[in-house]
Amino acid sequence: MLIERRIRMAYWHHLSRRPPTLTGRLTGFAVVDLRRMGGYDWRFASRNVWAVERMLLRLRHHRIERSGERVRRLRRRYRAYLASHGTKPLYYRGRDKWTEIPKHFL
């Protein structure tokens, strides 16, 4: 329970400030020890990692409530930025502390 509470607090502190994408948004989270995967080292997989996705989808998730109006407001801001700059917004607070974003993600 303590870990889940800390994850929820981290979400509200960091991720809730990030805009949702144009079509999706974070609605829940789950806590898992990926050592449950056994000898499967998904980090170095040269092909797809469907086994990890299936395992994550089977887990019990904790719902994250987020205001529909807040999501609409953040999406309006996102669309306005895309329209005026022609690229994804990078106006996140604290971005100066991030590692460099690979060019193919921009």
Tens of pLDDT, residues 55-88: 888 988 888 777 788 888 888 888 898 899 888 7
Enclosing domain of residue 71:
2-105
Specify the number of domains making up the chain: 1
> Binning pLDDT at 50, 70 and 90, where does residue 2 land?
low
Buried b (16+ CB within 10 A) or exposed e, 70-102: eeeebbeebeebeeeeeeebeeeeeeeeeeeee
pLDDT tens column, 12-22: 666 666 666 77
pLDDT, position 91: 64
Residue 29 scores a pLDDT above 90: no
Write out the E strands in 1-106.
28-29, 62-63
pLDDT of residue 94: 74
Give the side-chain half-sphere CA count within 13 A for 91.
12
d(C-alpha 90, C-alpha 18), whole Å? 10
pTM of the model: 0.53
